[in-house]
Amino acid sequence: MKKIEAIIRPEKLEDVKRALEEMGCVGMTVSEVKGRGAQGGIERQWRGRTYKVDLLPKIKISLIIKEKNAKKVIDTIVESAKTGDIGDGKIFVYPVESVIRVRTGEVDYDAI
Amino acid sequence: MMVEISFIDTVWVLVAGVLVFSMQLGFAAIEAGFTRAKSTMSIWMKNMSDMIIGSIFFMVIGFTIAFSGSGPFIGDLGHFLLKDVGLEAWDGLAIPGILFFFFQMMFAATAATIVSGAVAERIKYIAYFIISIVIIVLTYPVIVHWVWGGGWLAERGFVDFAGSTVVHSVGAWSALAAVIVLGPRIGKYTKEGVPKAIPGHNIALAGIGLFVLWFGWFGFNPGSELAADSAIAMIATTTNLAAAAGGLGAIIVTWLKLKKPDVGMTMNGILAGLVAITAPCAAVTPISSVIIGFIAGIIVVFSVYMFEGKLKIDDPVGAISVHGMCGVWGTLAVGLFATEGGLLTTGAVDLLVTQIIGVVATFAFVFTLMLVVCKIIDIAIGMRVPEAVEISGLDTAEFGGDAYPDFVRT
């Protein structure tokens, strides 16, 4: 099992969600986060002066999937979240030891 | 001799006075929007306070200092506590004396409220309260007496129709003195002295304030005719054109300078145009009003950079640039563009010289007096809140609250 953690543009959430749903990947956890990449933020303008916003609002999607689906899910996210401009985000992939469904006590593949 | 009251004049001046009152909302909203969320209650409290002080103290003594007697420099106590100010026609007008007071009281409160934005986010409430009282009982009425109360500038032929100098510069030079004594907000400058932007918390609230001010100005300028004659139509038109041209000037300058037109500075540009046309609004043509407003919109942008960058004066809303520098420009513009006596229109120099004298004298009196007043306040009780209070925000420390208790503060 793998955990996919994707940091994406807030405005891309709907696209990514729909694309994942279309490939049968429905369950996910979404958080509003702030962060920055190598550029260290962006410039803004206020009454004639520029200032740096160094932490930008982003969306983090976490989902747990079967290993064999990992490539397909990652490709789907990359395709649906991409604009080609700086700030499109990153995807992290982690191994998952165990998953337990709270309601039934089912574990691992049965619980995904 | 008793003059007959004109009811149409009375209704018009009353309505215009109420329009001037609405500018209090405009000032409060634009100042609150241009500053941080942690200072919002403090901004509104100061704006309510100067209206409260402006109403009561101008009734008690400000009005008589401004409009009683024929002394060249200061009025006497003939109208102390509104003595002999009632339903009879005011000298030379066809409106009741008490309405003349009502209209002038709204102007006094406007002059006082200009200070609140410049000193925002760091002044002690009690210090602001005292400054407001001094402006209402002394600083403002003395200048009014010079120009509108038959004083020495009126004798010289100085023209300031609705108060580019009398109202706006008086407020701005008082603000300048207060800001110099206060110093900049924590975090406004880097260690090297480079100014940093401190973004305001709500540009939409500021925008509401801007349009309410623009709206109120249609009472401020045309109402200063103090009669419902045909001139008010021309005055309303020059006022509106200058506002629009001021906004256009700021859009063009910031677009060229910053690659993007600046929204907050456009608001300042519109106000700059309004302040500048306040003195010449009844004396110039519509075309001149566009030129006057446009130049004001350019002046205000460079003035903000100058005060913030070169002079290290932290004025969070640009009040000193808008009301001070553009108040001066508007007053001088009378001497340049007036259809009677303007240098560019008739070649006459006298009026321009008189306008310069008025501008310089007003600055010297207001700035010196208010610098002394602010220094005394600073020594006696302190002008500025302690550092910890400023960082956590005036709202919590001085007023025990939070403007947006459900929001996370930054």
- Residues in chain B predicted with pLDDT less than 50, given as ranges, are none
Q: Cβ–Cβ of B264/A44 closer than 8 Å?
A: no
Q: What domain range includes position B289? A: 7-397
Return the pLDDT at B327.
Answer: 98
Q: Is residue B407 part of a domain?
A: no
Q: Nearest residue on chain B to A50, judged by CA atoms?
A: B197
Measured in angstroms, the CA of B356 and the nearest CA of chain A are apart by 30
Q: Cβ–Cβ of A47/B197 closer than 8 Å?
A: yes
**Residues A87-96: tens digit of each pLDDT:** 999 999 999 9
Q: Is residue B405 part of a domain?
A: no
Q: Cβ–Cβ of A48/B200 closer than 8 Å?
A: no
Task: Give this prediction's pTM.
Answer: 0.90
Q: Is residue B70 part of a domain?
A: yes
CATH 3.30.70.120 is the classification of domain A2-111: yes
Return the pLDDT at A41.
Answer: 82
Q: Cβ–Cβ of B265/A49 closer than 8 Å?
A: no
Tell me the three-class secondary structure of chain B, residue by residue. CCCCCCHHHHHHHHHHHHHHHHHHHHHHHHHHHHCCHHHHHHHHHHHHHHHHHHHHHHHHHHHHHHHCCCCCCCCCCCCHHHCCCCCCECCCCCCEHHHHHHHHHHHHHHHHHHHHHHCCCCECHHHHHHHHHHHHHHHHHHHHHHHCCCCHHHHHCCCCCCCHHHHHHHHHHHHHHHHHHHCCCCCCECCCCCECCCCCCCHHHHHHHHHHHHHHHHHHHHHCCCCCCCHHHHHHHHHHHHHHHHHHHHHHHHHHHHCCCCHHHHHHHHHHHHHHHHCCCCCCCHHHHHHHHHHHHHHHHHHHHHHHHHCCCCCCCCHHHHHHHHHHHHHHHHHHHCCCCCHHHHCCCHHHHHHHHHHHHHHHHHHHHHHHHHHHHHHHCCCECCHHHHHHCHHHHHHCCCCCCCCCCC
Q: What is the mean pLDDT of residues A74-79?
A: 97
Q: Tell me, what CATH number does B150's domain have?
A: 1.10.3430.10
Return the pLDDT at A40.
Answer: 84
Return the pLDDT at B3.
Answer: 78
Provide the domain count of chain B. 1
Which residues between 153 and 212 in chain B have a beta carbon less than 8 angstroms from any beta carbon of chain A? 195-200
Q: Is residue B340 part of a domain?
A: yes
Q: Is residue B351 part of a domain?
A: yes
**Residues A52-72: tens digit of each pLDDT:** 888 999 999 999 999 999 999
Q: Nearest residue on chain A to B199, judged by CA atoms?
A: A46
Q: Any chain A CB within 8 A of the CB of B10?
A: no
Q: Nearest residue on chain A to B256, judged by CA atoms?
A: A48
Mutate to test the interface with B, among A32, A34, A49, A53 (most CBs of B within 10 A): A49
Return the pLDDT at A42.
Answer: 87
Q: Nearest residue on chain A to B305, judged by CA atoms?
A: A48
